[in-house]
Amino acid sequence: MASLQESFIKIIDVHKEFYSQGQTDKVLEDINIDIKKGEVISILGKSGCGKSTLLNLIGGFEKPTSGSVFFDGKEVERPSRRAIMLFQDYGLLPWRTVRKNVELGLEPDNTLTPEERKDRTLEYIKLVGLEDSINRFPVQLSGGMKQRVAIARALAIQPELILMDEPFAALDTFNRYFLQDELLRLQKKEQKNIILVTHDIDEAVYLSDRVIIMDSQPGKIKKILKINLAKPRDRSHSDFQYYRKVIFDSYEFPTNTQAPDYNI
């Protein structure tokens, strides 16, 4: 097992339960993961298996019921600016424009002058292609545009760890591919760590160094798959298809050997 120094993120024996309406729900069980500096990790699994909960634990938004999460050698106890979370529901403030929403993440950073903050905001709004909508409010944007604002806000902070909960789900194919490539470019340039929850097998294979496949009820790690392909990857290559198939097969979809009984 890697030591705390070797692993940038280390999750040790994490269990998570939620209590609601007098009932205890076991959501995550026996989670152990070691992540090295600069790795891109995807988390795949059925709806409700605990992917967002796991991301929240890594980001310090939730606490494990037992076990520990370490980030750069320190136990995670609260959210940090070094680790930014892109929430599944975008987390935009409805009363702020695109510009002000992106700038929001930079406001607590007093190492930036107002001019630098303005420039950085604009740089990341351009990156996600929203310069024409800079003065619009969230209600005036499509789902994909809101998602791009949230991506710009997270990247503008230039964190070491980016936690993304289905970040590209609402985007069309063109924008999704473009932003996946931008993300990989930034990641390579600045050796960022990315942990990404996705439902898209193709996205997981395209972006990740390793893919975590989860089982549900309670959420457990079923398999961790290393993707041994050089980046940038070719989605049409047979090796890429091979990894897609390995992941797809690990879901064990039931085969329809029997005709359904319609009871007519």
Ligand X SMILES: Nc1ncnc2c1ncn2[C@@H]1O[C@H](COP(=O)(O)OP(=O)(O)OP(=O)(O)O)[C@@H](O)[C@H]1O
Taking the complex as a whole, the smallest distance from the CB of residue 212 to ligand X amounts, in Å, to 12
Dihedral angle sign, alpha carbons of residues 229, 233, 238, 243: positive
Least distance CB 264 / Mg ion (angstroms): 38
Task: Work out the angle between the directed axes of helices 143-156 and 173-190 (0-180°, nearest 10).
Answer: 10
Q: For tokens 């989670």, what's the residue? A: 31
Instruction: With CA atoms as reference, report the closest residue to 10 among 71, 85, 94, 92.
Output: 71
Q: Which is nearer to Mg ion, 156 or 167 (CB)?
A: 167
User: C-beta of 55: minimal distance to ligand X in Å?
Assistant: 8
| Minimum CB–partner distance for residue 93 and Mg ion (Å) | 21
Q: Which is nearer to ligand X, 103 or 203 (CB)?
A: 203
The partner in contact with residue 48, picked from Mg ion, ligand X, none with C-beta cut-offs of 5 to 8 angstroms by kind, is ligand X
Residue ranges binding Mg ion (CB under 5 A): 52
Please tell me whether residue 176 binds ligand X under the rule CB under 6 A: no
Q: How many CB atoms neighbour CB 102 within 10 A?
A: 30
Mark 19-38 with x for binding to ligand X (rule: CB under 6 A) and - for no binding. -x----x-x-----------
Site pattern 35..74 for ligand X (x: CB under 6 A):
----------x-xxxxxxx---------------------
Q: Is 18 in the site for ligand X (CB under 6 A)?
A: yes
Residues 187-218 as b or e (16 or more Cβ within 10 Å = b):
beeeebbbbbbbebbbbbbbbbbbbbbbbeeb
Is 89 or 261 the residue whose CB approaches ligand X more closely?
A: 89
Q: Is residue 180 within 8 Å of residue 203, measured between CB atoms?
A: yes
Pinpoint the alpha helices (H) of 47-172.
Answer: 51-59, 98-104, 114-127, 143-156
CA distance readout (Å), 69 to 14, 145, 243: 8, 33, 29
Q: Which is nearer to Mg ion, 52 or 121 (CB)?
A: 52
Residues touching ligand X: how many (CB under 6 A)?
12
User: Please, which residues have CB within 8 angstroms of residue 28's CB and are 6 or more apart in sequence?
Assistant: 14, 15, 16, 50, 53, 54, 57, 64, 218, 219, 220
Least distance to Mg ion, CB of residue 45, Å: 9
Give me the residue whose beta carbon is nearest to Mg ion: 52
Min dist. Cβ of residue 89 to Mg ion (A): 10
Nearest partner of 117 among 162, 159, 156, judged by Cα: 156
Task: Find the binding residues for ligand X in span 152-171 (CB under 6 A).
Answer: none
- Residue 27 interacts, among Mg ion, ligand X, none and using kind-specific CB cut-offs from 5 to 8 Å, with ligand X
Q: Which residues bind ligand X (CB under 6 A)?
A: 18, 20, 25, 27, 45, 47-53
